[in-house]
Amino acid sequence: MQSKYAIALAMAAGFAFGACAIHGLHAAASPPAYVIGEITVTDQDGYKNDFLPKAQKGIAEAGGKYVAGGFNKTVTFDGAPPPNRVVLLQFESMDKAKAWNDSESNKEMRKLGDKYATFRTFAVEGAAQ
């Protein structure tokens, strides 16, 4: 009978230890990073057909994902209105966002994009959860 209690106690202790370890790992994780792009597109067809598919592929390969944006509706609350295209990307961390931005493939994409638009991009670290 005592061995049953010992096994049950060991299982409970293991569960509690595991739960604490997982909580600690989540707390130590880096917060996500968000890249905001304000884009003034000057050549819609070139941007949409030549630049955008390649840029989207590069973002996805770097672990980024589109959260919002495109030519979707934006509303100005204060200040000057945004350009005709605004995008919001999410990366796992600021380091991942910087790695994507600094990559050779992104630099090449920007050269292509500069033919069709002007860009203002920046990143902000998300709030720790």
Residue-range domain boundaries for the chain: 1-29, 33-125
Q: Please report the pLDDT score of residue 91 as a whole number.
A: 97
Strands 65-70 and 85-91: antiparallel
Do residues 100 and 22 make contact, with C-beta atoms less than 8 angstroms apart?
Answer: no
Instruction: Supply 55's token pair.
Output: 């840029």
Query: Is the domain defined by 33-125 classed in CATH 3.30.70.100?
Result: yes
Distance CA 89, CA 25 (A): 25
Checking if the pLDDT of 112 tops 60, the result is yes
Do residues 35 and 91 make contact, with C-beta atoms less than 8 angstroms apart?
Answer: yes
The secondary structure of residue 114, as a DSSP letter, is T
Checking if the pLDDT of 4 tops 80, the result is no
The predicted-structure confidence for 68-105, as pLDDT tens digits, reads as follows 987 678 889 999 988 889 999 999 999 999 999 999 99
